[in-house]
Amino acid sequence: MHTLKSFYKILFSAVCLLLLHSSMQAQNINGKVVEWDESMKMEMPLPGANVHILGTDTATFTDANGKFSIAASGSSHARLVTSFVGYQNDTTTVTTSSAIKIILQKSVQLKEINVTGKQDALASPKSVRSIRRKYPKKKY
């Protein structure tokens, strides 16, 4: 009877360790990054968007369909930061292993950009036309 009790204690401990170990393993977070296209009234994928786990060096990019997969290790939740040029960054807390969808909003677009400059008094003025003539376009 004593050995059977010891056996069950060891078996219970092994099962607990196995469950603890499997919960600490890296889980893959799968998802899709999209934007809402108002003119077409539909979601459009954002290929090449950057997705990284906050506070780590773990990052990935979305594929041509806006989909990504990233490994989050040792935590029951992860904070994903998603960025794409021309869009506002998004921070999402993920607590599940099911697929997620991240919708990015467009940033404020500039209507006009004014560039001002000053020419050095000693430099000789050059026009854009003279620069283009100096470096002609190659024909293949």
pLDDT tens figures, 88-120:
999 999 887 778 999 999 887 667 777 877 766
User: Which residue in this structure is represented by tokens 């090449």?
Assistant: 48
- Whether the Cβ atoms of residue 45 and residue 62 lie closer than 8 Å to each other: yes
* CA-derived radius of gyration, the chain: 27
Go through 77-98 and write b for each residue having 16 or more CB atoms within 10 A of its CB, e for each that does not: ebebebebeebeebebebeeee
Terminal alpha carbon distance of the chain = 89
Q: How far apart are CA 103 and CA 125, in angstroms?
A: 49
pLDDT of residue 117: 74
- Place domain 30-104 in its CATH homologous superfamily: Carboxypeptidase-like, regulatory domain (2.60.40.1120)
**Between the CA of residue 81 and those of 17, 36, 53, 69, 122, what are the distances in Å?**
32, 18, 6, 13, 49
Q: What is the pLDDT of residue 30?
A: 93
Confirm if 51 and 59 have CB atoms less than 8 A apart.
yes
Positions of the chain with pLDDT lower than 50, given as ranges: 23, 131-133
pTM (predicted TM-score): 0.60
Q: What is the model's pLDDT at position 84? A: 95
For residue 35, give Cα distances in angstroms to 29, 94, 104, 134.
20, 19, 5, 44
